[in-house]
Amino acid sequence: MSKTEPVFPADRSGTVGKPWPESVGGIVNFYTTAQVTEVGGNDHAGILKCVLVDRGSVLNMMPLSLARRMDLVLHPQTDVVMKTAASTFNEIKYYVNLDVTVSGVTTSIQCYCLPEQGGRSSYTLLLG
């Protein structure tokens, strides 16, 4: 890796198929707290606890019920079906655009909204 290449590029597609940086060690996932605001300057903001950072995930996700409670703009999404780690298939009908700040670092993400499954999720936001 050259010294000018960022370790964590803003475009995560550049990391597909590349090994995880040695500097991260054996950390696979962890929970943290994040500040979330809607892209576009809307006043829909909040501090989310139980944010799961999971390097095994390739998508950013949040429960649809939380997106609605935060009054976020739901953008329609078609033709996306996702298989979760629990081997359930979910049709994704919406996504939201968010600015997420974790440990002082802010990035803009597209986050898919998972439909309610009748139970409570173990995370408020999954960052892949």
Inside any domain, residue 78? yes
**Range of the structural domain that residue 116 is part of:** 27-127
Inside any domain, residue 103? yes
Inside any domain, residue 93? yes
Phi, psi of 111 (to 5 degrees): -120, 120
Inside any domain, residue 65? yes
Number of independent structural domains in the chain:
1
Inside any domain, residue 67? yes
Arithmetic mean of pLDDT, 22-42: 76
| Domain CATH number, residue 97 | 2.40.70.10
Please indicate, yes or no, whether the overall pTM of this predicted structure exceeds 0.75: no
Dist CA 110 CA 42 (whole Å): 16
pLDDT in tens, 82-111: 887 777 888 899 999 999 988 888 989 999
Arithmetic mean of pLDDT, 17-38: 71
Inside any domain, residue 2? no
Inside any domain, residue 20? no
Does 121 have pLDDT greater than 90? no
Grouping H, G, I as helix, E, B as strand and the rest as coil, residue 13 is: helix
**Which pLDDT value is given to residue 122?**
75
Inside any domain, residue 112? yes
Strands in 1-128 per DSSP E: 29-38, 45-54, 61-63, 75-76, 81-83, 89-91, 94-102, 105-114, 125-127
